[in-house]
Structure 1
Amino acid sequence: MSTGVVLLNFGEPPTADREAVVDYLERIFYSNMDIEEDPDLTPEAARKRAGKLAERRAPGLIEEYEEIGGGSPLNEQASAQADALETELRDRGYDVATYTGMLYTEPFTDEAAERAVADGHDEVLGLPIYPLCGPSTTNLSLDHLADGLDSAGFDGELHEVSGWHRHPTYNRLRAENIREYAEREGVDLHDEDTVLFFSAHGTPRYYLDEGSRYDRYVEEWCAGMAGILGLEDYELGFQNHDNRSEVAWTEPDVEEAIESLDAERVVVEPVSFMHEQSETLSELDIELREEAEEAGIEEFYRVPIPHDDDRFPSVLADLAEPFLADFDPGYFQFRQCHCRDKPGTMCLNAPDPDWE
């Protein structure tokens, strides 16, 4: 049995080329047009509005890419992760090939689906590199993969994994990454003048009102990290985007949260990010640092993303293994996904009666 494992991702332009950045932004705005909740917005009008929003946002994003070296390293790091996963799975004895599929930049998800079908795999596994399940990331990526496979005439079995932020080794490697970074920098996380600050990618309130549990997943993961690190107190902020003034986002906003801190130093941990990208290298390292300095915080530290941690391929392989070995995923604590209304989509988010 041969399996194509498609690592699903968001994607970012690898260069600051204006045309590439505008196209990238237009795809994002168009695919998320539902958040404007305008029943009169036709597909043609939506496409036109997405183009205008992209043109307006492009100069700022191009500037960000230029500030971080001319483009995003996300795609390169994602490709390395796919190669490492393929090696790990083959070492475990599985006949697999891995592919990367991006929502908004090449290689696109439908292109990855076409390659997997052309390579003659009997089954395909969709594995998002988003630990925290969200509708505009995890679910949308899985939708694109399923559509791409259908268009390519795939007649095998498709397996889907969604949220996996509760994987024990993933939590351990992230906590140790924070601790080891603090030790290298000579920072005591338990000092009363030091704050561990979690910065999570924001999401429009629209998705939460529609039933997404993304914000709850963020909160429980931060609490878990603090527990592993032996910390009672920490702060959380969301990296929101103000491209659409009429759209409400998650709270508290990261800038407002950092301004409210009463601390001499802050250690920022980017929640859920598994690649360095503009949201870490620019929004945190440059913009949030400036906000912190203006707020009187004397020392600002940002924990690097452990995208090349030696344990990460093993984490991904653990997530894939039940489907490759053909045993009940429930043995590895997988459950039917609550956030994706499709039977057979599995996640590690056990039911919580308080969330019903």
Structure 2
Amino acid sequence: MSDHLPPAHPPVPSPKIGVVLLNLGTPDATDYWSVRRYLKEFLSDPRVIETPKWLWWPILNLVILSFRPRRSGHAYSQIWDKERNESPLRVITRDQTEALAQRLAGHDNVVVDYAMRYGNPSTKSVLEKMQAAGCQKILLVPLYPQYSATTTATANDKAFDALRQMRWQPAVRTAPAYFDDPKYVETLANSIRDGVAALPFEPDLVITSYHGMPVEYLERGDPYHCQCYKTTRLVREHLGWDNSKLMVTFQSRFGPTKWLEPYTDVTLEALPKQGVKKVAILAPAFSADCIETLEEINMQGRETFMEAGGEQFAYIPCLNASPGGMDMIESMVRRELAGWL
């Protein structure tokens, strides 16, 4: 291409295809101000908190951001990767990105990167870097198996905001939610089967704990609730398990409004009284282990269950950058890149 450019024309990079793995985000450190910056960006998102701004702004800035950063910072410190000085979510998402890049290395024109909806690396900075590198086509891959306006939609929104400011926009595709993708269902089922087989005990029950949301979001048309139940049903059918062996709960509720039920913490507290003393639990809404899985489930949830009379508790990790998990991501990305590669 450069042979046909007029004299003094700026260099033109060769056309490339970009693949961006999008995840939720993380504070840069566990101190008060780092966590506060992250929480402010997160909780100011109208996709996440649909309360009218005039009502929510004083609650957030005068109340929540005064005390929650210290509590959240302590929770992050419990699971922080001290060797890399990063949160597990960022470490794992980077590992996934590097693994996918290796799997697509046969295509010299493909660039793989990752971005966070909240925090760093920001979606805007990554898309600008890709555009400058010559990516004329970009695939956005929100790493959320089940669609929700609070996750998938807001991740895409942030990307579209960045694209809106570009004079020369690349062509863009967005990968759909993959809650019922046969490859995802098979991979998740295998992780459960292998995880249970590796335990020194036989669980009475396996719990699939999904991130919760206010019930009113479901009533307004968000499909997340139904997709969570469908994921668990398809996995149960793949495993050939009885209905009583695998159940759905919802975690991480916030504020006084009613959220999707049954609640994970309430369920864990009640199960021992019902004779369920041995459980295994996993979090299929997350593509990478993070504070909601490592601290909220594997630490707080374990404590709740054992203090209520439980005898055995096991957490089955997210798919993360495991070979099976990466097979699934690669399969999805190659499918969505059809006609571009």
Output the TM-score relative to the length of structure 2: 0.86
Q: Distance in 2 between matches of 1:145 and 1:26?
A: 19
1:87 — aligned with what? 102
1:51 to 40, 61, 74: 61
Unaligned runs of 5+ in 1: 328-356
2:253 to 241, 244, 247: 241
1:135 matched to 2:149? The reply is yes
CA displacement, residues 246-290 of structure 1 (integer Å, 9 cap, x when unaligned)? x32111111112223231200111122121111111101111111
1:199 — aligned with what? 209
Displacement of 1:212: 0.7
Q: Distance in 2 between matches of 1:66 and 1:196?
A: 28
1:112 matched to 2:126? The reply is yes
1:29 to 43, 54, 58: 43
Q: Distance in 2 between matches of 1:20 and 1:49?
A: 20
1:268 matched to 2:281? The reply is yes
CA displacement, residues 190-230 of structure 1 (integer Å, 9 cap, x when unaligned)? xxxx1111111111223212211101111111112222222
CA displacement, residues 53-86 of structure 1 (integer Å, 9 cap, x when unaligned)? 2222112111111222466210111011111112
Q: Distance in 2 between matches of 1:138 and 1:34?
A: 11
Please give the root-mean-square deviation of Cα atoms over the aligned residues, in Å: 2.1
Q: Distance in 2 between matches of 1:27 and 1:273?
A: 20
2:334 to 317, 321, 324: 321
Partner-residue secondary structure (3-state), 2:260: coil
Q: Distance in 1 between matches of 2:48 and 2:321?
A: 35
Displacement of 1:46: 4.9
1:66 to 53, 60, 77: 77
Which amino acid counterpart does residue 65 of structure 1 have in structure 2?
Answer: Y
1:224 to 223, 234, 240: 234
Q: Distance in 1 between matches of 2:247 and 2:335?
A: 36
CA distance 1:30–1:87, shift in 2 (3 Å): same
Displacement of 1:317: 2.6
Which amino acid counterpart does residue 260 of structure 1 have in structure 2?
Answer: A
Partner-residue secondary structure (3-state), 2:209: strand
2:320 to 307, 329, 336: 307
1:150 — aligned with what? 164
Tell me if the contact between 1:29 and 1:54 (Cα under 8 Å) persists in the aligned partners. no
Farther off after superposition, 129-138 or 202-211:
202-211
Farther off after superposition, 76-85 or 169-178:
169-178
Displacement of 1:31: 0.4
CA distance 1:173–1:322, shift in 2 (3 Å): closer
Which amino acid counterpart does residue 312 of structure 1 have in structure 2?
Answer: G
Which amino acid counterpart does residue 238 of structure 1 have in structure 2?
Answer: F
Displacement of 1:312: 2.7
Partner-residue secondary structure (3-state), 1:6: strand
Output the TM-score relative to the length of structure 1: 0.83
1:298 — aligned with what? 311
Tell me if the contact between 2:278 and 2:313 (Cα under 8 Å) persists in the aligned partners. yes
Tell me if the contact between 2:201 and 2:312 (Cα under 8 Å) persists in the aligned partners. no
Displacement of 1:235: 2.2
Tell me if the contact between 1:199 and 1:237 (Cα under 8 Å) persists in the aligned partners. yes
Displacement of 1:325: 3.3
Which amino acid counterpart does residue 90 of structure 1 have in structure 2?
Answer: A
Task: Work out the percentage of aligned pairs sharing the same amino acid.
Answer: 25
Partner-residue secondary structure (3-state), 1:101: strand
Partner-residue secondary structure (3-state), 1:325: coil
Which amino acid counterpart does residue 139 of structure 1 have in structure 2?
Answer: A
Unaligned runs of 5+ in 2: 1-14
Which amino acid counterpart does residue 226 of structure 1 have in structure 2?
Answer: R
Displacement of 1:295: 2.0
Which amino acid counterpart does residue 311 of structure 1 have in structure 2?
Answer: G
2:184 — aligned with what? 170
CA distance 1:80–1:223, shift in 2 (3 Å): same
Q: Distance in 2 between matches of 1:284 and 1:180?
A: 19
Farther off after superposition, 17-26 or 205-214:
205-214
Q: Distance in 2 between matches of 1:114 and 1:235?
A: 43
Tell me if the contact between 2:280 and 2:315 (Cα under 8 Å) persists in the aligned partners. yes
Q: Distance in 2 between matches of 1:152 and 1:79?
A: 26
CA distance 1:57–1:224, shift in 2 (3 Å): same
Q: Distance in 2 between matches of 1:10 and 1:303?
A: 21
CA distance 1:136–1:27, shift in 2 (3 Å): same
1:2 matched to 2:16? The reply is yes
Q: Distance in 2 between matches of 1:46 and 1:7?
A: 30
Which amino acid counterpart does residue 87 of structure 1 have in structure 2?
Answer: Q
